[in-house]
A = this chain, B = another copy of it.
């Protein structure tokens, strides 16, 4: 006799995403997920391949959310410089609202749960379009990488509380956006 399905992959992902944000990666245990799902840990293996697979699926969901946030930010902008400015701020807002989700995606641990190329390509598409306009097609990729690396690094440092010297962190962020946007396409080879 088939036993009633008491949970689902969808529920497990929702619980896991919430647990990660509330408790951090160490709190994201199979037992904790199972408890919230009203089930025993071994039952989870009927729906997901194990903890690593669960973390990877959570990360993919975060990347999708991030892509949406960046798209929205780009939509409201006038020019390419504004796209980048808004994208950077949106990324920072996202990191503040969901720090653990941000860290999961941008600071992958030893398990190496990074999203597939198609989903991450979609997430950076607006940035790439903007840098193509500002820096030209030939330098678009290098410029996008410069911008992404800066934003990622800055926000990561902020989350890690690595700005130990005090000072105005908001101002440093705006300084960075302004100078990066201004520098594109202006430097001689």
A-side residues, CB < 8 A to B, are 24-26, 106-110, 112, 114, 117, 120-121, 124, 139, 141-143, 145-146, 148-154, 156-157, 160-165, 167-169, 171-172, 175-176, 178-180, 182-184, 186-187
Take A121-B165, A156-B107, A187-B178 as given contacts and tell me if A146 and B150 are in contact as well, using a CB distance cutoff of 8 Å: yes
The residue from B145, B152, B182, B184 contacting A156, defined by CB atoms under 8 A apart: B152
| Alpha-carbon distance A141/B108, docked complex (angstroms) | 28
Among candidates B107, B112, B148, B171, residue contacting A107 with C-beta atoms closer than 8 Å: B107
Q: Take A110-B26, A164-B117 as given contacts and tell me if A183 and B172 are in contact as well, using a CB distance cutoff of 8 Å.
A: no
So how many copies of this chain end up in the complex? 2
Q: At the interface, is chain A mostly helix, strand, loop or mixed?
A: helix
Q: What B residues does A145 contact at CB under 8 A? A: 154, 157, 163, 169, 172, 175-176
Some 14 contacts from A to B, beta carbons below 8 A apart, are: A25-B109, A25-B110, A108-B160, A120-B164, A121-B164, A139-B175, A142-B175, A143-B175, A143-B179, A146-B176, A146-B179, A146-B180, A149-B176, A180-B183
